C-alpha cells in the first residue's frame, strides 16, 4: 500500500532551493555550451513544484497565486530558460486549480501529482493570421488521426505530455493531449531566437498521430464568468522578467565584489566603495524590486477573481487583467534596464563572453516579444479612460 504524500509550500521551496543553487551556478556555462538542464529540471519536477498552487484536497500544497509567482521568480532568478520551459506545466496546474469544470481534470491532476511535465502550443508558421489553425484532425476507426506542425512548443524536450489544437473537416477546433513519445510526434530542437535559447521551444511535428476519443475535447469557454483566461499566462511572463532583473542584480553584486576594479580617477580603492558603482547597483536593485513587487501584487489580485462569480467575477477579472498588463510593462522595462546597467558596474572585462552577462538582456528582450508592451499599456489606458474591457484573446 502506497503512503499518502502531503506537500506544503514551504516544503516544496526548501526542497527546491539546492536545485536552484545548482541551476544558478551553471547558467552561464550552459549558455556558452548550449547545454540543457535536464538533471535539474527533472529534480525540480520530482519535488512536485507544480503542485504549489493546487488545493490540498486535490493532493497539492494549497498555496496561493502569490506563492506560485514567488516560486516562478525564484526559478527565473536561477535560470530564466528553465522558468520559461516550465511555463506550460504551471499553466496546466493553474487550469486545474482554477477550474473545477476543466475537461479531463482528474486525469490531468493525476499526471501533475506524478511529477509529469507538460508542453503545448497552438502557434503555427503557415502564413495565416496569428491564431490560424491548419493542423488537421480526422476520424479514423475508433479514434482520430492528426497531422500538422506547431511552433514554440515551450519546454518540449523536457515534457511528458504535449497539448495543442487541430481543426476537423467541418472547421471545428479540437484540443488534444498526447504523450510526447507517441508514434508520429517529433520534437525538434530548432528554436533560434536571440535569447531564451535553452527553453526547448522548438517545433513539434505531428505525422499521422493516432489519438483516442478521451484525448480530445472541444473546449467551450463562452460560459465562463471571467473570460480573461490568459491573465495567469501573462503574469507568468512578467514573473520571468522579474527573475531576470534579480539575476542581473546577483551578477552585478558578485562582479563588483570579486572582479571589478575602480576606474583610474575613482576616489575609491575598491570597486564596492566607488559611489557610481554603488549608485548603479542600487538602481539595478530598485528595478528588480519594482518588477517583483508588481508581480506579487498582481498575483494577489488575480487570486481574488477565483472567489467571485457572475458579474462580480467579470469586473474583477477585467480589473486583474489590466493589472497584469501594467505589471508586464513594469517587469519588461525593469528587466531590460537592469540587464543594461549590469555592464556599468565594471569596465571592459564585464563584456567577457565567459561571463555571459549579455544573456540577461537577450533573455529579457525575447520574453518581452511574447506580447508587445505597447499593447499592454494601450489596453490599460483604454480601460482607465473609457472602461473598455481588455481583449479576450488569451494575451491579457
Question: Hey, CA dihedral for 20, 26, 32, 34, is it positive or negative?
Answer: negative
Ordered by start, the domain boundaries in the chain are: 9-116, 136-217, 231-386
pLDDT in tens, 276-334: 999 999 999 999 999 999 999 999 999 999 989 999 999 999 999 999 999 999 999 99
Bigger pLDDT: 264 vs 129:
264
CATH superfamily of the 231-386 domain: Butyryl-CoA Dehydrogenase, subunit A, domain 3 (1.20.140.10)
Residue 396's Cβ-count burial label (10 Å; 0-12, 13-18, 19+) is buried
pLDDT in tens, 84-125: 999 999 999 999 999 999 999 999 999 999 999 999 999 998
pLDDT exceeds 60 at position 269: yes
Domain at 9-116, CATH from 3.30.56.10, 1.10.540.10, 3.40.630.10, 1.10.490.10: 1.10.540.10
Are 80 and 31 within 8 A, CB to CB? no
pLDDT in tens, 190-202: 999 999 999 999 9
What's the pLDDT at 131? 72
**pLDDT category, 62, cuts 50, 70, 90?**
very high
DSSP string, 261-309: ---TT-S-SSGGG-HHHHHHHHHHHHHHHHHHHHHHHHHHHHHHHTT--
What's the pLDDT at 375? 96
Phi-psi group of 194: left, alpha or beta (phi > 0 → left; psi -120 to 50 → alpha; rest → beta): alpha
Alpha helices in 47-118 (DSSP H): 65-78, 80-85, 87-98, 105-113
For 43, the enclosing helix (H) or strand (E) is: helix 38-46
Rg for the chain, CA atoms, rounded = 22
CA 185 to chain centre: 23
What's the pLDDT at 88? 97
What is the arithmetic mean of pLDDT over 155-177?
96
Bigger pLDDT: 3 vs 198:
198
The domain over range 136-217 is classified in CATH as 2.60.40.10 = no
What's the pLDDT at 366? 98
What's the pLDDT at 263? 79
**pLDDT category, 1, cuts 50, 70, 90?**
very low
What's the pLDDT at 298? 98
Amino acid at each position: 500500500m502506497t503512503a499518502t504524500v502531503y506537500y506544503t509550500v514551504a516544503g516544496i521551496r526548501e526542497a527546491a532551493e539546492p536545485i536552484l543553487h545548482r541551476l544558478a551556478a551553471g547558467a552561464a556555462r550552459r549558455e556558452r555550451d548550449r547545454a540543457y538542464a535536464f538533471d535539474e529540471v527533472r529534480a525540480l519536477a520530482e519535488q512536485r513544484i507544480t503542485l504549489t498552487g493546487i488545493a490540498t484536497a486535490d493532493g497539492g500544497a494549497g498555496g496561493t497565486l502569490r506563492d506560485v509567482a514567488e516560486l516562478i521568480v525564484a526559478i527565473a532568478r536561477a535560470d530564466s530558460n528553465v522558468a520559461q520551459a516550465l511555463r506550460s506545466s504551471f499553466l496546466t496546474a493553474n487550469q486545474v486549480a482554477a477550474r473545477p469544470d476543466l475537461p479531463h481534470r482528474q486525469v490531468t491532476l493525476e499526471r501533475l501529482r506524478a511529477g509529469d511535465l507538460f508542453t503545448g502550443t497552438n502557434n503555427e508558421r503557415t502564413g495565416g493570421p496569428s491564431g490560424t489553425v491548419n493542423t488537421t484532425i480526422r476520424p479514423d476507426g475508433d479514434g482520430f488521426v492528426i497531422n500538422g506542425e506547431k511552433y514554440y512548443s515551450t519546454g518540449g524536450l523536457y515534457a511528458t505530455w504535449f497539448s495543442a489544437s487541430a481543426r476537423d473537416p467541418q472547421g471545428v477546433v479540437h484540443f488534444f493531449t498526447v504523450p510526447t513519445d507517441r508514434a508520429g510526434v517529433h520534437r525538434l530542437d530548432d528554436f533560434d531566437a536571440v535569447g531564451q535559447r535553452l527553453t526547448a521551444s522548438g517545433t513539434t511535428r505531428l505525422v499521422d498521430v493516432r489519438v483516442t476519443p478521451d484525448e480530445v475535447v472541444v473546449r467551450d469557454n463562452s460560459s465562463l464568468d471571467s473570460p480573461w483566461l490568459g491573465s495567469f499566462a501573462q503574469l507568468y511572463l512578467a514573473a520571468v522578467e522579474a527573475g531576470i532583473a534579480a539575476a542581473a542584480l546577483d551578477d552585478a553584486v558578485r562582479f563588483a565584489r570579486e572582479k571589478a576594479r575602480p576606474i583610474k580617477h575613482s576616489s575609491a580603492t575598491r570597486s564596492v566603495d566607488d559611489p557610481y558603482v554603488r549608485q548603479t547597483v542600487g538602481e539595478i536593485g530598485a528595478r528588480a524590486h519594482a518588477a517583483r513587487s508588481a508581480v506579487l501584487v498582481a498575483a494577489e489580485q488575480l487570486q481574488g477573481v477565483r472567489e467571485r462569480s457572475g458579474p462580480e467575477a467579470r469586473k474583477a477579472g477585467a480589473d486583474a487583467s489590466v493589472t497584469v498588463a501594467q505589471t508586464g510593462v513594469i517587469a519588461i522595462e525593469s528587466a531590460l534596464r537592469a540587464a543594461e546597467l549590469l555592464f556599468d558596474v565594471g569596465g571592459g572585462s564585464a563584456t567577457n563572453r565567459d561571463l555571459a552577462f549579455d544573456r540577461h538582456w537577450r533573455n529579457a528582450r525575447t520574453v518581452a516579444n511574447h506580447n508587445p508592451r505597447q499593447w499592454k499599456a494601450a489596453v490599460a489606458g483604454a480601460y482607465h479612460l473609457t472602461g473598455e474591457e481588455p481583449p479576450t484573446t488569451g494575451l491579457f
